[in-house]
Structure 1
C-alpha cells in the first residue's frame, strides 16, 4: 500500500482549480488504497519567508535523515515522513534551496505542478522554478500543456502527466432565455472584463449571464468587473454572486446553456470538463491549455483545431478587437438554433468520454512506481 505525504499551500483559500484538484486527487488515491497524509503548509507561497521555508525544509527532511520525524525536537508535532512526499508546485518553486537540500538528503520528493511560472522579464521566478523541479525525484503535471512547457523550459526528463478527472453530474436543464456561465475567480488572468465587453455588444439579443467566482482573490479587479457591468447597463442581465459552492453552484450549472473560459493563460481548465460533464458546451481561448480539456472529451480534431467551429476563439496580440471576436462567436450561437443544438449534442456525447478521478490518481501512482 502506497504511503504518501502531500504538502499543499494554505494561503490559497478561494476555490481554485488547484485546490479542487488536490482535494479530489487525495480522495482518488485513498479509493485506490493509498494512505495519504495531507498537510496545508502555512506561508505566503510562493514568496514565503525564511522561517516558513525552514519549516518546509524540516517537513521535507532537508537538513538530515531524521529531520521531520518524532525525534526532531524542533518540530514536536511533525508526523513521520512517509516513503514519498508530493509538494504542490506553488510551494516547491518558493523553496528551491530546501528542495535541493532534500535531494542531497536522498529524500523521495516529487512536485505536482498545476501551472508553470508565468513568463516575464524578470528571470528570477523561472530560475527558482527550474532549480526546484530539477531537484525533485520527479515532476507530475496536471496537463500535457504544462508538461511540454516545463520540459522545454528546464530540459526536464523526469516529467509525467496526470490530467484532471471529473465527477459524474446530471445533465443541465438550461434556461430561457439562454444563460451564459463563467466559473472562475475574478482575476485579471481570467479576463472577465473581456467577457463583459463582449456581452455589451449583444444587448439587442435575449440572454442572461453569471460570473461566478471569488471576489476576494483580487478585490481591486473585482471592483473593476462590477463597475464595467454597471457602467454598461448590464446589472439586470449579468450577475456577479461571488464564490459559490454546494447546491448554490449546482443550481448555476443546472441553469446554464453555455460556459466561458477566456483566460489569458490556462494549464488545463477543469471548469471546461466540469461543464461538459453536465452536457454544457464551452467556449475557450485558443492557444491555452483549456483546448486540451476540450481534447480530453474528444472535441478537438486530428489537426488540433476545434471539432466544433467557434468553440475556441483566437484573440489578436494586443487584444484591440478581442471583445468583438468573442461577441461574434456568442452572437452566432445565440441567433442560430441549429448551432446551439449541434453544440449541445456534442457536449452530451463528450461527457461519456470523460475520465473519473480514479484515473488521475492511478496516473500519479504509476508515475511514482515507475521511478
Structure 2
C-alpha cells in the first residue's frame, strides 16, 4: 500500500500523523511503501503533478493507495482518472478551503477541486467525527465511504510547569501552532493585552515561514501592546525542545479559527497540561472529558477576543481555577487513546477497500 505524504521534514500535526501511521500500520497487518512528492501543494507545478501521476501509474491495478489530502485534493485531473483502476483513499487533515487568508476565488477553486477528488475516490478518512460529518454534508459524500481515524496521543511524563519553581515565577502559557491567520495568534495577543496587569509569560511555538506578512504584523502587534518581553515567537520545535516547552507550561492556549481536531490539545493533555481553546471543529472532541464528565480546561467561542480574554483573566486570577483545571487534565491524561487506536481505525477503512476489491474480482 503506497502512501502519499506532503513534507515529512516539516513539524506539523498533519505530517506527524502521516509519519506515525506509516510507521504503525505494519503492526496491524499492512505493508506500507511510503512515497513523498516535493511540490507547492495543494497547487503544485507540472513536475510535482507528473511525479504524483507516475507513482499512481506504477501501482498495480486494484492497488490500495492512501493519499494525504493536501496532495490529492487539489489535483483531481491526476486523481480522478486513476479512481476506477485503483482503490484510492484520501486522508483529509483540513479541507483546503478552510485555510484562512485565501482569496475568495482561490478558496472556491480549491473547494471545487476537493469535491471532485473526494467524490471520485473509494474512501475518505477524517480525523474527527465533526470533520467526517462536515465532509459528508459539504461535499455530498456517502456516509459509508467516510471513516474516522482520530489522532492518538503518547502519554508523557507529567509537566511540572511552574509548580516547583520560585513562587515569584509567572504562570507560563504555551501556544503550539504554525503562525498563520487560521491559528489566530493575533486574537490571542489581543486577549493577553487585556490581562497585562496580571503575571504571565507566553511562548508561541510554530513555523514562521508560511505567512511572513502575518508574522510581521503579529510582531508589530506584540510591540504595540508592549508585550515584547512576555510574548515570544520561538519558531518550530521538535523532539526534546518541544517536550521541554510542554514540560514548562501551565496552560496550553489555542485561538484557532478552524481545526479538524487539534493535536496540540491532546499532546498537552498527555502531559497533564490543561487547555484553553476556541471551540471550533473537532477541538471539543480532542479536549474530551474526564472520567467524571468534567472538561479539562476552558472552551470559548471562536472570533471572540473578549471571551478569550475573560477566560484568561479567570484562569490567571483564580488559583482555585488553575488547580481545578490541572487536576481534571491529569485525569483526562489517563483516558487518552493511543496511536494504536488510530492505526486500527485506519486499518479498518483500508480493509473495507480490500474486501470490496476481492468481491469485485
| TM-score between both structures, scaled by the size of structure 1 | 0.86
State the match for 2:127 in structure 1: 142
Matching of residues 11-22 of structure 1 within 5 Å: 14-22=10-18
Q: Aligned-pair distance for 1:165?
A: 0.2
| Partner of residue 200, structure 1 | 193
* Corresponding position of 2:341: 359
Bigger Cα displacement from structure 2, 183-192 vs 89-98: 89-98
Q: Distance in 2 between matches of 1:227 and 1:154?
A: 39
Structure 1 residues 309 and 356, CA, compared in 2 at 3 Å: closer, same or farther?
Answer: closer
The equivalent of 1:94 in structure 2 is 74
Specify the alignment match of 1:369 in structure 2. Answer: 351
Deviations along 1:322-362, one digit per CA (max 9) or x if unpaired, are: 33321111111111111111110100000111111111001
1:47 aligns with 2:43: yes
2:156 matched residue in structure 1: 169
- Using the TM superposition, give the Cα deviation of residue 282 of structure 1 relative to its aligned residue in structure 2, in angstroms: 0.6
Q: Find the aligned partners of 1:163 and 1:91 in 2 and give their Cα distance.
A: 20
1:181 equivalent in structure 2 = 174
Distance 1:309 1:270, change over 3 A: closer
Over 3 Å counting, the alpha-carbon distance change for 1:263 and 1:24 in structure 2 is same
5 Å-filtered alignment, 1:333-352, equals 333-352=315-334
Task: Give the equivalent residue in structure 1 for 2:97.
Answer: 118
- The Cα offsets for residues 34-62 of structure 1, whole Å up to 9 and x where unpaired, read as 2211111122111122343233122112x
Q: In the TM superposition, what whole-angstrom CA distance separates every residue of 1:137-193 from its partner, at most 9, and x where no partner exists?
A: 111111112111110012212110000001120100011321110001110110111
More displaced stretch, 283-292 vs 331-340: 283-292
Asked whether the equivalents of residues 5 and 81 of structure 1 are also in contact (C-alpha less than 8 Å), the reply is: no
* TM-fit CA distance, 1:81: 8.2
Q: Give how far 1:33 is off.
A: 4.0
**3-state SS of 1:22 partner:** helix
> CA 1:13 to 1:346, structure 2 compared with 1: closer, same or farther past 3 Å?
same
Deviations 1:271-298 (A, max 9, x none): 0000100001111112332112112x54
Q: Take 1:363 and 1:81, find their aligned partners in 2: how far apart are those partners?
A: 25
Give distance in 1, aligned partners of 2:341 and 2:179: 30
Say if 1:111 and 1:133, in contact at 8 Å, map to a contact too. yes
Structure 2: gaps (5+ residues): 163-168, 354-361
- What secondary structure sits across from 2:97 in the alignment? coil
Contact 1:141 1:162 in 2 (8 A): yes
Q: Which moved more, 1:184-193 or 1:137-146?
A: 137-146
Distance 2:61 2:236 in 1: 35
Quick one: distance in 1 between partners of 2:186 and 2:313? 18
Alignment length (residue pairs): 339
- For 1:113 and 1:309, how far apart are their aligned partners in 2? 27
Answer yes or no: is the 8 Å Cα contact 1:60–1:109 preserved in 2.
no
Aligned residue in 2 for 1:83: 63
1:252 pairs with one of 239, 245, 248: 245
Q: Aligned-residue CA RMSD in angstroms?
A: 2.1
Higher helix share: 2
